[in-house]
Amino acid sequence: MAAQVRALVAAKWLAEAIKKNSVGPKLRILDSSWYLPKFNRNPKEEFTQSHIPGASFFDIDECCDKSSSYDHMLPTERDFAEYVGKLGIANDTHVVVYDTSDFGAFSAPRVWWMFRLFGHSSVSVLNGGMKVWRDEGHPVTSEHRRPESAHFRAAADRSWVKTYEDVLENVINKRFQVVDARSNGRFRGTEPEPRENTEPGHIPGAINMPFPNFMQSSGLEKDPEELHRMFQEAGVDLQRPIWVTCGSGVTACHIALAAHLCGHPGVCVYDGSWSEWFDRAAPEHVISEGKGKQV
């Protein structure tokens, strides 16, 4: 299973694996829930109260570069390896990630993408997350046993990570497609950003594909044919390189997952995303129908 796992696994499949006592060194489940402050939810507390049996909690605000002034920027290879090793994950472990979002997925694709960035292709997103898990009547628990630590060796493909300087250069040469996963209002500049001292708007030349649109109302991911159609209608060429962005590099990974399901596995993430761009960019590089960035 190591290098050929599906990007998505069904709740029924995971429930059967749990029934067979398969959760262990070869299969680990991670609740990777994370929410913006406006949601007024504490994912760690929610995890202690209710989670999928056998799951551990993956905190993107802990497994990150804590020296950065921007939220949950990517950790080093060493820090990632140490963090996931403590969760009982080795290089031959199949990892299944989910979150408890009402959308069906919110932050899980970010953790899926992180594992792949650090050289671990044996990772899947639980299709529909906790939303579908509960809807299908599968069990939850408050019990948690810390897994035995494992050795994980990380090997990052840093070409998948784009910096402010990379994106600024692309504004000029327009070699790569930049796709933004935020809501249309935040992208256009007509709805407020959730972070202080940040106005809405977008990077010049960016294309908007709001992340909830990749999922059905049930929470399940749309099928590849429909995803293909969405990219085509948005004007995104899946035969060309794609860089993705959002508020802080989390929901951007929904675009990476959708493109992967369409046969485009190498989507790059602008890790600083809009938080960094608005902070550092010149006013003329903040495209907005609203206030924009003042000189």
> Which tens digits make up the pLDDT trace of 32-74?
999 988 788 999 999 999 999 999 999 999 999 999 999 999 9
- Residue 59 neighbours by CB under 8 Å, 6+ apart: 34, 44
List, by residue number, the catalytic residues.
246
* C-alpha span between 101 and 90 (Å, rounded): 27
d(CA 165, CA 145): 43
Tell me the mean pLDDT per 10 residues along the chain, length 295. Answer: 73 98 97 90 96 98 95 96 98 98 97 98 98 98 96 97 98 96 98 93 98 98 98 97 97 98 95 97 96 80
Q: What is the CA radius of gyration of the chain?
A: 19
* pLDDT at residue 291 in the model: 85
In this prediction, residue 1 carries a pLDDT of 34
CA gap 199, 215 in Å, rounded: 27
User: Which residues is 178 bridged to in the sheet?
Assistant: 243
CA 126/CA 97 separation, integer angstroms: 6
The residue assigned the tokens 């299944």 is 96
Taken in order of first residue, the domains within the chain and their CATH numbers are 8-156 (3.40.250.10), 159-285 (3.40.250.10)
This prediction's pTM? 0.96
